[in-house]
Amino acid sequence: MLGLPTLRAGPRFVLALLGLPILRMGPRFRDLSVGVDIIREEMEKHRATVLRSVHLHIGQLSAIVPEALSFCFEVMTSGTNLEGARLDMEIIPLRGVCRACHKEFEIQNYAFECPHCGNRDIQTISGQELSIVEMEVD
């Protein structure tokens, strides 16, 4: 696993898992299971026993429905030491860079066209991710 920074604050500590990916493409229940496994591995590595909260970055184009993810997380953690953990989700806007004029911009209404030069050769640079940003554990 990654050598990740640990922040300690009394009996609780926060694991800063900046950008640890859960999945790259569309939502699948198996991918959530992998995400829960990643959480468990990190907790074991830091000798944590209780999960208080998980903060996720969810890309606007990741095909993740926050309400569905919340429901699945609740179902998968029920009856485990992860049960009752707060799931915080932050939606990351879809951003791109034009391959012609090299300007960066937020992609509005899924229109993959540069607002500066009109070029349609756009590289997305954010908005497709689903990653764990932070976990609070005891």
pLDDT tens digits for range 45-88: 889 899 999 998 889 998 888 888 888 888 888 898 889 999 99
Residue with tokens 């012609």: 100
- The model's pTM: 0.70
Q: What token pair was written down for 23?
A: 């999945």
- Assigned token pair, 63: 């095909």
What mean pLDDT comes out for the span 80-100?
94
Phi first, then psi: give them for residue 54, nearest 5 degrees: -130, 130
Q: What band does 20 get if pLDDT is binned at 50, 70 and 90?
A: very low
Q: Which domains does the chain have, with CATH numbers?
A: 6-94+127-137 (3.30.2320.50)
Q: How far is CA 78 from CA 48, 50, 83, 110, in A?
A: 18, 13, 5, 36
